[in-house]
Chains A and B, each alone.
Chain A
Amino acid sequence: MLRFVVQRLVVAIPTLFVVVTAAFFMMRAAPGNPFSTDRKLPPAIEKNIAAKYHFDRPLYVQYAEYVGGVLHGDLGPSLKYRDKSVLDIIGQNWVVSFKIGAVAFVLMVVLGVSLGVIAALRQNGPADYTVMSIAILGICIPTFVTAPLLQLVFGSELGWLPIGAWDGGALPNLVMPVIVLAAPQVAIISRLTRAGMIEALHSNYVRTARAKGLPEFEIVVKHALRAAVLPLVSYLGPAFAGLMTGSLVVEKIFGLPGLGKFFVNSALQRDYTVVMGMVIFFAALVILLNLVSDVLYAILDPRVRLA
């Protein structure tokens, strides 16, 4: 098991390195720089700024300096928010993204699995049809459609929930962002669970369990569900990536002060260090979650342990 984890980590490190390199040179290839304004700055000032942020050195030197900084845990200062470092920005704003992400994650797993199990147990019945129709809709309706529609109905027409804003993470402010974020994932997870459950329910070991006269609940939860959630575990990584891209949209629509805003704005403003910081942060998270789901899979399914 330890070997497996180490193996995966060995792959993860070059991956992260590729991410940093690609993002660095892509950002630098972009026309303009963080300090280009409509009015041209006097050359002396321009020179001073370039010297301060080492922009006057060759690109490969800047790259080496940046990578060196990252290895020491220093993501550099923000070039636009003068008094903040990249770590400050991430540190001050990740809580919002994390909170809606985490709640949505729990919601999607719990709701998705329960709906999938119900659909599988009532295969071809009305409950199954309902769940699967909702799932199709959930997959086909993008977040940037559901979010404004929900705002329109529950926010402005009915006035039940606040249309946007964070308000310190108050519960009513969380409801809509979380639902929007979780909906497509709930749909995918319920389909995965349903497919897995149906296969498991018709397997020989479930028949054996039935023959032994075990109570239905025990059969479903202890025997069938265990096998059925396996494919789900390997879906964890991609699901997280989905939540992340979703949160870019959700944070924008609901005006939440999360990390998503910084990513797009910084890229547009050529705030090199902030963009790099975001890319590293999210790439590391995605890679970590992929690793976790691989390891979990290996623990749960002995057949792949040495793969």
Chain B
Amino acid sequence: MSLATLTSRSPETAALMERAVKGRSLWDDARRRLFRNRGAVASMIILGVMVLLAVIGPLLVPYAYDEINKNDVWVGPLTNGHLLGADALGRDLLARLFTGLGVSLAIGAVATAVSLVIGVAWGAIAGYFGGVVDEVMMRIVDVLYSLPYIFFVIILMVTFGSNFILLFVAIGAVQWLTMARIVRGQTLSLKQKEFIEAARAIGLSRMAIISRHIVPNLLGPVVVYVTLTIPGVILAESFLSFLGLGVQPPMASLGTLINNGAQDMELAPWLLIFPSIFMVVTLMCFNFIGDGLRDAIDPKDRWQSLSCLCGRGPPAVRRRSACSCPSSRA
């Protein structure tokens, strides 16, 4: 019986039928919960604006990020057409901020993508193959885990020079470890599911099962971890830039801007304050979104979240304490 014949019979039945047919998938539920989380939604909006500013912002400012203006050295905000003032070389801070924001976000995205590819492949293969393969691969992760990784990034940067692409790779290459662990754990439990057994029964190869059946089902925890990796990467880049090993001048990133601002802070505090605000807001947004996603996708550890201040604790706790937090009512 098709929907059309139902509609002709009774609109009421049709409406009921439609609702029943539509159903709510896991992802619908997750989206609903995510959008009910005010902190996460606000963060997404702010972050969207930031990305937009990083992309089109440089076009809106009358100065280029590396344009040196001899007459504008250390001018304060709102003077000589510099909305946020200018630095020691008279370069417009707003233009440099937009560029730096773009660089930091790009590094965050690319390095996270690198860590995503390595981590997911590593974890899924180790988890699915199991046995000796798993043992060896995870032992390698254990060993790498106990290294003071920032030292290795520093040596890497010194070794191969501070080039842009290497910066992406170097940071990404040390961030994949946790991802690999998470993915392996998930794979181990997925492996036992019937649909994997079915795939094996119809004779799919192991790599095909991993890439077509395991990896797509890992999406939830991976997405959550990715949003929490991005701020980590941005922080790592800023940290390197702060030590003079990251992005090289005249290019800017939030880290180099903060570093330069800190050097001139007594003469020109705005050079420190504005980049710091951008940095903190960016990191905060990612953290809120990450926590919101975790609440949405994996509601069972909601009480560990950061974006929702109340309603933590197992369900028994929440029933007892009246809570006004939007996400806990979900």
> Taking beta carbons and an 8 Å cutoff, which residues of A are in contact with B?
11-12, 14-15, 18-19, 22-23, 26-27, 29-31, 123-124, 128-129, 132-133, 135-137, 139-142, 144-145, 147-149, 151-152, 156, 191, 194-195, 198-199, 202, 237, 241, 244-245, 248-249, 252-253, 263-264, 267-268, 270, 275, 278-279, 282-283, 286-287, 290
Q: Of all chain A residues, which has the CB nearest B282?
A: A140
Nearest residue (CB) in A for B313 is A198
Which of B152, B269, B303 is within 8 Å of A198, CB to CB? Answer: B303
Give the distance to chain A from B252, nearest Cβ to Cβ, in Å: 15
**A278 proximity list for chain B (CB < 8 A):** 151
Cβ < 8 Å to A, chain B residues 82-111: none
Chain B 218-259, CB within 8 Å of chain A: the 1/0 string? 000000000000010001001100111100000000010011
Residues of A within 8 A of B243 (CB): 248-249, 252, 264
Give the CA-CA distance A249 to B258 in the complex, in Å: 13
Which B121-136 residues have a C-beta within 8 angstroms of A?
Answer: none
A30, B266: Cβ atoms closer than 8 Å: no
Report the nearest A residue to B307, measured CB to CB. Answer: A136
B148–A249 touching, CB < 8 Å:
no
By the criterion CB–CB under 8 Å, are A148 and B265 in contact?
Answer: yes
Contacts of B306 in A (CB 8 A): 132, 135-136, 139, 191
Q: Convert B305-330 into 0s and 1s, putting 1 for each residue whose CB lies closer than 8 angstroms to a CB of A.
A: 01001111110110001010000000
Q: Which residues of A contact B310 (CB under 8 A)?
A: 123-124, 128
Contacts of A270 in B (CB 8 A): 158
B287 touches A136 (CB 8 A): yes
Show 13 A/B contacts (Cβ-Cβ < 8 Å), sorted by A: A18-B147, A30-B160, A123-B321, A124-B321, A137-B280, A144-B255, A149-B273, A152-B269, A199-B313, A199-B314, A249-B242, A268-B158, A279-B155
Instruction: Indicate if the CB atoms of A26 and B279 lie closer than 8 Å.
Output: no
B154 and A148 contact, CB distance less than 8 A: no
Interface pair B280/A283, CB less than 8 Å apart: no
Q: Which residues of B contact A144 (CB under 8 A)?
A: 238-239, 242, 255, 258-259, 262
For chains A and B in complex, what number of residue pairs have CB atoms within 8 angstroms? 147
A18 to B238, CA, bound (A): 28
CB distance from A192 to the nearest CB of B (A): 9
Interface of A is mostly: helix
Task: State the Cβ distance, B323 to closest chain A Cβ, in Å.
Answer: 6
Inter-chain contact B272/A140, CB cutoff 8 Å? no
B259 lies within 8 A of A248 (CB): no
Which residues on the A side are within 8 Å of B146 (C-beta)? 12, 15, 237, 283, 286-287, 290
A237–B145 Cα distance when bound, in Å, is: 11
| Cross-chain contact B309 with A128 (CB below 8 angstroms) | yes
Bound-state Cα–Cα, A267 to B157, Å: 9
Docked-complex contact B154 and A263, CB < 8 angstroms: yes
Contact A264:B148 (CB < 8 A) given known A124-B323, A245-B239: no
Are B303 and A18 in touch, CB under 8 angstroms? Answer: no
